[in-house]
Amino acid sequence: MTLTEAHGPAKTAERRAGRRWPGWVAVAVWAAGIAAAFAVGWYLRRAGLATEDPLPPLHARARGWPPPVRRLLPAAAVAALAVAALPALAARLPWRALPPAAWAASAAWTVALAACDGWDALARPLDAPTEYPAGLAQLRPDPSAWLRTFTERLGGYTTHVRGHPPLPMLVLWALEKAGLGGTGWAAALIVAAGTSAAAAIAVTVRCLAGERAARAAVPFLALAPLAVWIATAMDAFFLAVGAWGTALLALAARGARRRALVPAAAGGLLLGCLPYLSYGLLPLFAVPLAVVVLGRPRLRVLAAAGVALAVVPAAFTLLGFWWPDGVRATLDTYLVSRGSAQRSYAYFLFANLAVLGLLTGPAVAHALPRTLAELCRGALWRGVLGRGARARSAAPAAAVAALAGAALIGVLVLDASGVTRGEVERIWVPFAAWLTAAAAVDRPRVRAWLAAQAVTALAVQALVLSPW
């Protein structure tokens, strides 16, 4: 039985037959779009019109042929086990055990994919001279002075430090001060945090769309192709902060009056970190905004979340970092660089969306027509925004579609801005994870589509050598 199943079997069969072809058309468009993005990228590079990337639209290069099939066998075994077991576990486990199980499955899948290149591949991306850890030497002597002068001295920092606000560096510095220094511990934090987002998104879906919808989403959240880039890009940590902030806000929206204030404040505090982790995370606020619209929390809950939301911006301002100045300085360094700013806007405008398709997989593409239909036909406004818990539970597919649609809106806004010309395989991670929940909307052949998701990730891992 699916999220949008009608009460009568005849109606169910009729609806499924009518919905089948749009999904397959979407999958065909998904495959054609990805192929076109790589073909055009190859042509632009051959004509001397592309910069930096050996394999546009990815910031990566192609592996040698034949691909390392033998090294992929452990990951393929993990995928086979997950395809066989996750649907049954998602249906039968007590709810308390399901989010931790989703986290564990996502972590196993992510680590198995990364370990295809050896265990050191988990930490190797952070050893690059362009990454955050390379800039810790400039922060260690005086963190407060480093923060006060961050904007003025931006040009002297490593590539990723220049392109982001100061909070990611402060997180790594705090980890080091706690005795967990080195890229190994940093990689462990990133992978553990990033994979926990599967649990956070499942909790959010349950709060807004019901337990049945959350159980349907868990296998797709745990076995998403974006796991290829969760190990090891700092953007996976950004994903976790946004996902748990949103989950806590959703829990507060449905909680009792007194008990709701604590998760509301905790959620607001985490969400307030997002602009200070990456300037590109501002459009991600569309997702917690959707939670507020769908969950309709009480005024005191909104007040607690709002006050907590202001804590991190206020702290950074008092400590000497003014966020608008950081945006301006980062944009200046971006425009004068001979790197990503020189890439073709027109090409990456559509190629970035093809990369999003790689992260989310064919199951999400197949569900996209139904997801859009749930938003467009008015079920959202009649059901989710109706009065009372009965009205909210009447449109679970619409609630899931709203979360995925909010993430997609964030992607489209960021894509159109032109500041994401390539390297989006990591930038899209905090957005793409929410889109994978859409695969739960009316999904009768769960294992077949899970297998398609796993094959997509394995193919990327086999053919592409990414710096993350």
Q: Name residue 344's amino acid.
A: S
Q: Which residues fall within 8 angstroms of residue 103, CB to CB, at 6 or more apart?
A: 195, 196, 198, 199
User: Are 232 and 468 within 8 A, CB to CB?
Assistant: yes
Q: What b/e sequence results for 42-58 when a residue is b if at least 16 CB atoms lie within 10 Å of its CB, and e otherwise?
A: eebbeeeebbebebbbb
Q: What is the pLDDT of residue 14?
A: 44
Neighbours of 157 (CB within 10 A): 21
Report how far Cα 227 is from the mean position of its chain's Cα atoms: 10
H helical segments located in 210-285: 211-222, 227-230, 235-254, 257-277
**What is the Cα 350 distance to its own chain's centre?**
19
Phi-psi group of 296: left, alpha or beta (phi > 0 → left; psi -120 to 50 → alpha; rest → beta): left
- DSSP string for residues in 398-410: HHHHHHHHHHHHH
Going by C-alpha positions, the residue among 454, 154, 168, 179 that lies closest to residue 327 is 154
pLDDT of residue 181: 93
Query: How much is the pLDDT for 9?
Result: 47
What is the residue extent of each domain of the chain? 79-465
Task: List all residues 6 or more positions away from 151 whose beta carbon is below 8 Å from its beta carbon.
Answer: 321, 322, 325, 326, 329
Per-residue pLDDT tens over the stretch 344-384:
889 999 999 999 999 999 999 999 998 888 887 654 454 44
Mean pLDDT by 10-residue block, N- to C-terminus, for the chain (468 residues)?
47 52 93 97 85 87 84 96 97 97 98 93 93 95 96 92 96 97 96 98 96 96 97 96 98 81 97 97 97 93 97 98 95 73 87 97 94 71 47 69 96 93 93 95 84 97 90
